[in-house]
Amino acid sequence: MNRNEQVERKPIVTAIIQARMQSKRLPGKSILPLAGKPLIAHVIERTRAMRGIDLVVVATCEGNDDLVNCARDCGAETFVGSEHNVLERYTLSAREFGGDYIVRVTGDNPFTDTGYGSEAVAFALETESDLSSLSGLPLGAGVEIIKRTALEAAYNESSTPYHFEHVSPFIKEHPERFSIRRKTVEVANPFKDLRLTVDTPEDYSLACRIYDELYRGEIFPIAGVISFIEKNPSLIEINKDIEQRPMTHSESR
């Protein structure tokens, strides 16, 4: 094959799920039962079902043996690193397992939508962005995709605690340097403050109600969640008063 006939290499896409058992607001949440399976198992199932992802890794920290074993049982690779320096955990995971693009998934989001996640991966590859995501999704339904070179730059140059705990703030704070793209998607969602992440007992209670109703061994889309809540609007009350921590929050302060 001569130089003109060479086929361009397909970028490798690695999904890294950050998870730990040491959560202060809901300890051990990663393996709490949700419709008969550990919460993290649902996150892994949904991530593995996204189109365009080549490898799924659960990145955790020391003292999380039950989480590591569960992840491996679900077919994910595992990495054990720093508890609070999540940026380092992502970067070292990427160095160990490879990947030109890193799909950032959080282990407390059992409603991560597979269809929209697949769309986000395709958008990242199409635009070749340093950082990309979809906007318009409820909190806890989306993913963030970071080009490996941007991740390495953030790791090497970040300087404040929240940069290390939240992975992408350094990139977001330097739009003049990094290509940051967001694609707006139209979701029929009348609940603008719908919260589908699991950080607190209230969040977990809502997640249990939804999963008990909708999960029958197969992944259900975000549209199904919204439809169920439309029929049962009082569910919104369960966690409506939970305040989402800002990007600049740091537990090391």
Tell me the per-residue pLDDT of 28-84, one tens digit each, with 9 for 90 and over. 999 999 999 999 999 999 999 999 999 999 999 999 999 999 999 999 999 999 999
Q: For 14-31, write each residue's pLDDT tens digit.
A: 999 999 998 888 999 999
Q: Which CATH superfamily, name and number, covers 11-187?
A: Spore Coat Polysaccharide Biosynthesis Protein SpsA; Chain A (3.90.550.10)
Distance CA 148, CA 251 (A): 26
pLDDT band at 5 (very low <50, low <70, confident <90, very high): very low
For the cut 80, the answer to whether the pLDDT of residue 2 exceeds it is no
Residue 245 scores a pLDDT above 90: no
Distances (CA, A) of 2 to 5, 6, 7, 9, 89: 5, 7, 10, 15, 40
CA distance 16 to 18: 6
- Flag whether pLDDT at 139 surpasses 80: yes
- Amino acid 6: pLDDT: 56
User: Both tokens of residue 17?
Assistant: 């799920």
Domain edges within the chain: 11-187
Cα–Cα distance list, 35 to 55, 210, 233 (Å): 25, 9, 21
Residue 252 clears pLDDT 60, i.e. is over it: no
Structural contact between residues 102 and 144, judged by C-beta atoms closer than 8 angstroms: no
Q: What is the maximum span of the chain, computed from C-alpha positions, in angstroms? A: 65
Alpha-carbon span 27 to 51, nearest angstrom: 32
Range list of H helices, 82-181:
86-97, 114-127, 148-157, 161-166, 169-172
Map 25-36 to HEC letters: CCCCHHHCEECC
- Using one digit for the tens of pLDDT, what is the confidence trace for 112-137? 999 999 999 999 999 999 999 999 99
